Structure 1
Amino acid sequence: MVTWPCLLKLEGDAELIFIASYTALLDECEALILSQNDCIIDSVGKSYYLRTSKGRTVELEPQKRFYTLEKITELIQKHEFSKAQMCIMKIQFPTIESAVSALQ
């Protein structure tokens, strides 16, 4: 079961997108062409592939991969570096949930 909020991680892109809920995910996915390796990372580090189906639904397929706080912090550092707006060395978080929420 997904623990919201989540981060949307698009394959081959350092940008991360904050996703507050399943409804927000549906809204975001309407504007995207999804790759088979795009995923969301939830607030406890679980990851899910995004599978589109007919209509306005996105199925979440659990991955075996679990993201640690260190890995999520690294992804957020890369995200911020790509925007060139913040010193990435200052980016640290006490929990996965606080890391995910930082992009809100």
Structure 2
Amino acid sequence: MISWPCMLKLTGDDELIYLESERDFMSECRDLLFCDDDYVIDSAGYCYLIESTSEKLALIKTEQMLAAHEVSNLIRAHEFKKATLCLTKIHFLTVLDAIKSLSY
């Protein structure tokens, strides 16, 4: 079962999208065009592919799981693009803490 909150990682883009709940996922992603390599990372580090049909969006769990340092690296790239934080200070002990940082 997916652990919310999550973040959306689009292929070829360092921007991350914070998703508080499944409702936010549906609302935020309803009109996006997805690439096969786009994925959602949940608070436990599990990765989910996005399956889009004409009727709904679904998250399909993969075997890939990211550690806190891997998610921290994604956050660093995201923040570098915004150029608002000192990147060397970005470090998270848990995936949940990393994902929650996107909500601020």
TM-score when scaled to structure 1? 0.95
List alignment gaps of at least 5 residues for structure 2.
Answer: none
1-side partners of 2:43 and 2:83: how far apart? Answer: 25
The CA deviation string for residues 75-98 of structure 1, in whole angstroms up to 9 with x for no partner, is: 000000011111110101121111
User: Which residue number in structure 2 is paired with residue 89 of structure 1?
Assistant: 88
Q: Tell me by how many angstroms 1:62 deviates.
A: 1.0
Aligned equivalent of 1:9: 9
Kindly provide the amino acid, as one letter, of the partner of residue 99 in structure 1: A
TM-score (structure 2 length as normaliser): 0.95
Q: Distance in 2 between matches of 1:24 and 1:84?
A: 26
Runs of 4+ in 1 over 6 A off after TM superposition: none
- How far is the alpha carbon of 1:31 from its aligned partner? 3.0
Matched with 2:32 is: 32
- State the identity as a percent: 36
Which whole-Å CA distance do the structure 1 matches of 2:31 and 2:78 have between them?
20
RMSD: 0.9
Which AA in structure 2 matches 1:13? D
Which ranges of structure 1 fall in alignment gaps of 5 or more residues? none
**Code of the aligned partner of 1:32:** L
State how 1:45-64 maps to structure 2 within 5 Å: 45-55=45-55, 57-64=56-63
